[in-house]
Amino acid sequence: MLTYTSRKEISEKTEQLRGEGKSIGFVPTMGALHRGHLSLIERANNETDILVVSVFVNPLQFNNTGDLTSYPRDLQADKKILETVGCDIIFVPDEKEMYPKPTTEKYNFGTLETVMEGTFRPGHFNGVAIVVKRLFDIINPHRAYFGEKDYQQLTIIRKLVETEKIAVEIVSCPTLREDDGLALSSRNANLTTEQRKEASFIFQTLQLAKKRKNHICPAHLRQLIINIFDANKNFKLEYFEIVDDKTLQPIMAWESSKGMIAFVAVWLGKVRLIDNIRII
């Protein structure tokens, strides 16, 4: 496995490999790798000749300094994992390498970023777009893999690729979960043992939402689920929304959309967790 910290050097390497006719698969991550990341990596490995994984905790996408400082980091463990899963190239830039000058890029994702994560994490998606665009420019992959766990991010990235006319295929991968349903996330490492047990409540409640959909209208279902979270004192709900899977706008009637997803963001103590479930 080759490790690069320099943009210039990894660019030269991936261009050389492209020139040799190799297809490049890319999985961007913020490290603290878990089985969720590995599912993306495995898929990329199967579908492309060369697998590039980046590990970079992107400060621009954190709107909360506490969240940034407490974000789990373990590069040595990540490298070991990546060696064993057949990663060809790892890109580990530092902040200066990614952002030698203050950034000025301003992306506009319209109404895709005025809901859910966009509302509660101002500037988050602009920060995501800046780093992903730069990583795409540096690595120039044929295919890039993103998890449906961060579905709104995935939608924003698809929009970025379309508006910036980037020649990369975006591949979406299903959410990997623990046995009790909790979506795998690097932030789960910050949960206490007690909180970790309580956390399965999130997916259970999403499943309940899916089950109840035939019996009540979307607005009532939304309120029911909000009430269920509010009644559980372990959790502080930020939002629960049922939205169209393309526009991400709230739906008023089950017939109004062909695909719908329910999204949730909650605080469990000091840890913010997000999840989603396809309703239709």
> Is residue 134 at the binding interface for ligand AMP, with CB under 6 A as the rule?
no
Determine, following the binding rule CB under 6 A, whether residue 52 of this chain makes contact with ligand AMP: no
Closer Cβ to ligand AMP, 91 or 221, answer by number: 91
CA dist 261 → 72, 213, 268 (Å): 29, 12, 22
Interaction of residue 183 with ligand AMP, rule CB under 6 A? yes
- Which helix H or strand E contains 129, and what residues bound it? helix 124-139
Please give the size of the binding site for ligand AMP, defined by CB under 6 A: 17
| Pick from 43, 23, 30, 50: nearest CA to 168 | 23
**Which residue's CB is nearer to ligand AMP, number 4 or number 26?**
26
60 binds ligand AMP (CB under 6 A): no
Q: Does 189 bind ligand AMP (CB under 6 A)?
A: no
Tokens of 19: 């020139």
Q: Please, what is the minimum distance in Å from the beta carbon of residue 170 to ligand AMP?
A: 10
Question: Contact with ligand AMP (CB under 6 A): which of 39, 54, 205, 276?
Answer: 39
Q: In this structure, what token pair is assigned to residue 93?
A: 């830039």
Torsion 235-239-241-247 (CA) sign: negative
Of 146, 203, 235, 240, the residue at the interface with ligand AMP (CB under 6 A) is 146
- Map the footprint of ligand AMP across residues 157-176, applying CB under 6 A: 173, 175-176
**Which residue of 149, 159, 222, 272 would you call a contact of ligand AMP, by CB under 6 A?**
149
Stretch that binds ligand AMP, among 29-37, 44-52, 158-166, 215-223 (CB under 6 A): 29-37
Cα–Cα distance measured from residue 89 to residue 16, given in angstroms and rounded to the nearest whole number: 13
Residues 48 and 205: beta-carbon distance below 8 Å: no
| Minimum distance from residue 28 beta carbon to ligand AMP (Å) | 6
Q: Residue 26 carries which side chain, given as an amino acid letter?
A: F
Position 234, amino acid: N
- For the CB of residue 113, give the shortest distance to ligand AMP in the complex, in Å: 17
Least distance in angstroms from the C-beta of 197 to ligand AMP: 18
Name, in order, each residue with C-beta under 8 angstroms of 115's C-beta and a sequence gap of 6 or more. 152, 241, 243, 248, 249, 250
Q: Which residues are catalytic?
A: 37
CA atoms within 13 A on the CB side of 82: 28
Residues at the interface with ligand AMP (CB under 6 A):
29-30, 36-37, 39-40, 146-147, 149-150, 173, 175-176, 183-186
